[in-house]
Homo-oligomer: A and B are copies of this chain.
Amino acid sequence: MTYGKLFAALADPTRRAIFERLAAREQSVAELARALPVSQPAISQHLKVLKEARLVRDAASGARRIYSIDPDGLWPLRQWLDRFWGDQLASFKVAAEREED
C-alpha cells in the first residue's frame, strides 16, 4: 500500500522530473510550472501525489509555496530494494515480510 503509492508516484515521467528538479534545489509551484511542459494545476496535482507518497514537503512563503524533497522519502524504496539485493539470501527476508501487502 505504502509501496504502491511510492512506486506509482515515481512511475510518471513528469513526476520524476519534478522530483529531480526539487532534488537539485527547492522551488515554488510556479517555477516548476514554467520549467515543465504542463499547466500549473497539473503541477499541483503531481505535487499532491508526491506529497502523499512522502517524497516531497512544502512550506508556505508568503503567497508562494516552496516545495522540497523529503529527506526520508526514499528510505522505504531502499529498504524494499535491499530485500532482493542479496540474491538467494533474500529468500528468508521475503518470507519474513510476507505479512504486509
Contact = CB atoms under 8 A, between A and B. Distances in A.
Query: Would you call the interface of chain A mostly helix, strand, loop, or mixed?
Result: helix
A94 interface: yes
Given A3-B16, A10-B7, A23 B77 contact: no
Nearest to A89: B71
B74 A24 contact: no
Interface in A47-97: 69, 71, 74-75, 77-78, 81, 84-85, 87-92, 94-95
Nearest to A95: B24
Nearest to A6: B11
Closest 10 A-B residue pairs measured CB to CB?
Answer: A7-B11, A8-B11, A7-B10, A71-B88, A24-B94, A20-B94, A7-B7, A24-B91, A11-B11, A23-B84
Interface of A: 1, 3-4, 7-8, 10-13, 16-17, 20, 23-25, 69, 71, 74-75, 77-78, 81, 84-85, 87-92, 94-95, 98, 101
